[in-house]
Structure 1
Amino acid sequence: MQADSIVLGAGIVGVSIALHLQMRGLSTVLVDRRGAGEETSYGNAGLIQREGVMPHAFPQGLADLLRYGVNDRTDMHYHLAALPRIAPFLARYWWHSRPENYRKVVTAYAPLIAAAVTEHAPLIEKAGADDLIVRQGWYLLFREEQERDEAFRKAERLERDFGINHDVVRNDEIRRKEPGLGIDVAGALHWADPWSIRDPGGLVKRYLALFESLGGTFVNADAMALQQRSSGAGWQLPVASGVIEAKDAVVALGPWAGDLTDRLGYSLPLAVKRGYHMHYAQPAANPLTSWVLDSKYGYLLTPMVRGVRLTTGAEFALRDAPSTPVQVDRDEPWARELFPGLGTRVDAEPWKGARPITPDMMPIIGPAPKHKGLWFAIGHAHHGMTLGPATGRLIAEMVTGDTPFIDPAAFSATRFM
């Protein structure tokens, strides 16, 4: 089978890349071992985070490090046995999170995040996916006044510096919005710009259907079998029906990207943050209608098609280590205190996924330095769903030789080489 491009990985990033390439007239084959949106892109919080200009940094202060070291928190958990393997990555993550380095990250990251909603919008319209989208932002709830006031000051700076809109919300206002809340809160920060997704995996499948309607091809195959053609010009991948040959290949394999990039001779500092979710039945009276994050405990409650989804904070562990969903059990009592109508568990067991991360908290987007026609779109961490379409456009513009809509230099793999 001949094609112009092969895209490896059918999560939100890979599907968005394939869609953008196909829309630009390139015959594109999208490859995954499973269906589209069935791994990391299925289990996220369902937010298109326009406000997410400040990626999740590693704790800096000694007091914070000691608190997390006890390993009894709800917002972070780690596997002690994994620390010898992941400690070098965590050290680099800590270094990039230092204030002077973090400021540079935020400045470089801002143009990409700014395109989050505007790049999703036309794809949502073309894919007929408006029924999955809620355009009301999300709420960060505070139990303590000191944390609230600090967050309000930070939000004012973000609005001034990056044009991110927010509202300060009192307890009585959030209660009118969500009458099912069971406790008084110290207030809330309403991030007004983000959009929410009622079924993240379903949105990826709608994008896939749009891709196929434009003539794109989706196949199940082992992405790890990708090889450079013997002539050195182009790429090939064996599939059940034969061999796909293409000029360009894009690696968008999420937490599995390192398996392939290592084999191709790249030593990229890729790791994972694992996360869990559980669905609960919505109450008949006063159902949850907003995306709300409990700032003290780090869990997010989201009204999804399947019910109320509770998503946990991060877990630092080896990607394929057995599931340890202790954060779900720790979060659930606090979630029921906040929202007493939370029903019974819907899922047989908590879902587990892995977010692919780099130590500087920014994705790797652009050409592979050692191979012609090979492209990377990996390491999106917490913002894969947010940045899928923006990444798709950026990769497609570079592949086709168009002028990129933002300068991609900050996201180059060469920063780690």
Structure 2
Amino acid sequence: MSQTANEGEVIVLGAGIVGVSVALHLQQRGRTVILVDRRGAGEETSYGNAGLIERSSVIPYGVPRDLSTLLRYGFNRSADVHFDWRYLPRIAPWLWRFWRESAPSPLARAADDMWPLIERSVIEHESLMSQAGVLPVLRKTGWIEAYRTEETFQRARNAATALHRFGLNYDVLDTKALQQREPHFSNVHAGAIHWLDAATVPDPGAVVKAYAKLFVDRGGIFLCGNARDLQQKETGWSITTESGTAHAPQIVAALGPWSDMVFRPLGYKIPLLMKRGYHVHFGTETNAVLNHPLVDVDGGFLIAPMNQGIRLTTGIEFSRRDSDPTPIQLDRTEPLAREILPLGHRIETVPWMGSRPCLPDMRPVIGRGWRHKGLWFAFGHNHHGFTLGPVTGRLLAEMMTGEKTFTDPTPFALKRFENGRS
């Protein structure tokens, strides 16, 4: 192992979409940045998402308020949520706060706080994609939410109307109109909402790698190392890597579901929870094509056209981050997906599994670690990590360099978890 030292102004821990975006935005502002990850760029949570840049998802994912849905969740009878009951006692306080934060008034406040980030999500991706030379892969065709019953379809139409203040663009589709946009679909859906402001990519992991390549091509340093080796020194922070020790006066923890590896040893009590998810790819029969990502709301799954095939992704699994995979949700939803589209065989023999970093108030942590000089955080994006990576990178870089921020960062401050509120 080389014993050379890598000196920089900022070390960014984590090369997912958030960390790479932070590194790029700091680099654009003249900072010397060292990016550190134990793997390559975009090979964890950033790889396994649905490739959506969810410009239209203005209401955070809260807890449903109706009793029937909660009972289905509680008895593991729903495909979109699954519990490991052994894990429930540990996460019960988190779930209780999540329930309270999902009430109409706090949920509306969360939507207002998140809107400045959501509103710029596509714009900030377009900027980085243009610089990285991958803008042609961006598909500005939106995504579709489909409903199997007239009752749920009507509720969706009412909910869409209630979002008028955000100025979103969408089309309401009956069964025939949906089949016109997706000619290979069956007629199992009563209708759908086609959200038009969102964008998609066919390989989110490859996009993150393109951003990381841009960072390196512009002189950035990307090293292999483990956040567990982080140490605070009198002169700043250091971490042991395969290329020697890296030093910098400032550090950013952008480790997604592994951010607790930094904040827990430093004494920060942050209610970070991991929601696991799975995906698997399929070919299609009879040359069938999927034109848009589609969420089957009643079925509890999403299918999306990817370079690797049709990606079937699951909802939420509440389980320990490192416990054995239990892809029961894929097994439950695959037959439902086959009702929609003539899928072929699974391409992978083993499904992919990843973790989504979530906080109970449905806002990420973006800002300073107030107890330690030079410490910054960017994590906990609650299913919107790929969507909000570039805009998070911009906001944090503005804060760290003393620029005027494009929006008030106060709702994302770490200090909101002080005084027993964690």
What's the TM-score bracket when you normalise by the shorter of the two chains? Answer: over 0.9
- Tell me the residue number matched to 1:306: 308
Q: 1:281 aligns with which of 275, 280, 283?
A: 283
CA contact (8 A) 1:50 1:114 kept: yes
- Structure 2: 5+ residue stretches without partners: 1-5
- Tell me the residue number matched to 1:121: 126
How far residue 289 of structure 1 moved from its aligned partner, in angstroms, is: 1.6
More off after superposition, 371-380 vs 281-290: 281-290
How far residue 290 of structure 1 moved from its aligned partner, in angstroms, is: 1.2
Aligned AA (1:143): R
Distance 1:61 1:292 in 2: 24
Matches within 5 A, 1:172-251: 172-229=176-233, 231=234, 233-251=235-253
How far residue 81 of structure 1 moved from its aligned partner, in angstroms, is: 0.7
How far residue 100 of structure 1 moved from its aligned partner, in angstroms, is: 2.1
CA contact (8 A) 2:179 2:186 kept: no
How far residue 170 of structure 1 moved from its aligned partner, in angstroms, is: 2.1
What secondary structure does 2:222 align onto?
strand
Distance 2:73 2:176 in 1: 33
* CA deviation profile, 1:378-407 (whole Å, cap 9, x unmatched): 101200000000000011101111011110
- Tell me the residue number matched to 2:3: none
Distance 1:218 1:359 in 2: 32
- Tell me the residue number matched to 2:78: 73
Aligned AA (2:416): R
More off after superposition, 98-107 vs 309-318: 98-107
CA contact (8 A) 1:15 1:208 kept: yes
CA contact (8 A) 1:282 1:288 kept: no
Distance 1:32 1:185 in 2: 43
What secondary structure does 1:302 align onto?
strand
Distance 1:91 1:259 in 2: 24
What secondary structure does 1:59 align onto?
coil
Aligned AA (1:330): R
What secondary structure does 1:20 align onto?
helix
Distance 1:289 1:100 in 2: 36
Q: What percentage of aligned pairs have identical amino acids?
A: 48
How far residue 259 of structure 1 moved from its aligned partner, in angstroms, is: 2.1
CA contact (8 A) 1:43 1:352 kept: yes
Distance 2:389 2:90 in 1: 29
What secondary structure does 1:238 align onto?
strand
Matches within 5 A, 1:15-414: 15-158=20-163, 160-229=164-233, 231=234, 233-339=235-341, 341-414=342-415
More off after superposition, 60-69 vs 388-397: 60-69
What is the root-mean-square deviation in Å for CA atoms of aligned residues?
A: 1.1
Distance 2:407 2:209 in 1: 27
CA contact (8 A) 1:23 1:214 kept: no
More off after superposition, 84-93 vs 201-210: 84-93
Could you list the structure 1 runs, at least 4 aligned residues long, displaced by more than 4 angstroms after superposition: none
How far residue 224 of structure 1 moved from its aligned partner, in angstroms, is: 1.8
Distance 1:53 1:77 in 2: 24
Aligned AA (1:300): L
Q: TM-score, normalised by structure 2?
A: 0.96
Alignment size in residue pairs = 413
* CA deviation profile, 1:325-361 (whole Å, cap 9, x unmatched): 000000000000011x211100111110000000101
More off after superposition, 86-95 vs 375-384: 86-95
CA contact (8 A) 2:47 2:205 kept: yes
How far residue 184 of structure 1 moved from its aligned partner, in angstroms, is: 4.1
Distance 1:22 1:296 in 2: 44
Distance 1:115 1:309 in 2: 26
How far residue 140 of structure 1 moved from its aligned partner, in angstroms, is: 0.7
How far residue 65 of structure 1 moved from its aligned partner, in angstroms, is: 1.9
How far residue 236 of structure 1 moved from its aligned partner, in angstroms, is: 1.2
Distance 1:62 1:188, change over 3 A: closer
- Structure 1: 5+ residue stretches without partners: none
Distance 1:235 1:115 in 2: 32
CA contact (8 A) 2:179 2:187 kept: no
* CA deviation profile, 1:42-70 (whole Å, cap 9, x unmatched): 00011000011111102333333222111
CA contact (8 A) 1:300 1:311 kept: yes
How far residue 271 of structure 1 moved from its aligned partner, in angstroms, is: 0.6
Distance 2:357 2:408 in 1: 22
CA contact (8 A) 1:13 1:389 kept: yes
* CA deviation profile, 1:86-132 (whole Å, cap 9, x unmatched): 11111111111122221211111111111111111111111111243
CA contact (8 A) 2:301 2:314 kept: yes
Aligned AA (1:387): L
CA contact (8 A) 2:60 2:107 kept: no
Aligned AA (2:310): V
Aligned AA (2:365): I
CA contact (8 A) 2:78 2:300 kept: no
